[in-house]
Amino acid sequence: MRRISIQILASILILTGCSNIRVSGNLGDLVGTSFRANNVESYTFEELMAYNHRYLASLNEEYCHTDKFEPAPSFKHLERNLKSETQKLGGNAIVFDVCEKQSNYQNCTALLRCQASAYVIDFDGI
């Protein structure tokens, strides 16, 4: 009986001690970025010329990969971030100017870098 009381007391102490623990993460950021990126279409500059468009901004994104044992990720992550930034600026179109990968750049085993231009296309005024 005494053993059960100690276990109950320990359980109560553990539960009340953990009542102020807060769990957080970046899942909301990832979902928001993906949602915004899905609202932006990629175009070539030539394709863009067929639409009534307005230039918003030049965008840059880079990623320094430092893990020597895992391969560097693809450019998709950078492209998704740039599309998300385009949508934050009010844009719905992006033109990727250049994406490049440099090996052994400073402390990076691989440096991924993308440059793009953000635009808004007025589909009603075509």
Mean pLDDT along residues 16-28: 42
Tokens of 84: 């998300």
> What pLDDT digit, counting tens, does each position of 71-100 carry?
887 899 899 999 999 999 999 999 999 999
Among candidate residues 34, 32, 49, the one with its CA nearest the CA of residue 95: 49
pLDDT tens digits, one per residue of 97-116: 999 999 988 999 999 999 99
Per-residue tokens: 15: 């539960």
Distance of alpha carbon 22 from alpha carbon 19, whole angstroms: 8
pTM to 2 decimals? 0.67
Domain ranges of the chain: 40-126
Mean pLDDT of the chain, nearest integer? 79
Where helices occur in the chain by DSSP H, the ranges are: 2-17, 27-38, 45-48, 76-88
40-126 carries CATH number 3.30.110.70: yes
The secondary structure of residue 68, as a DSSP letter, is S
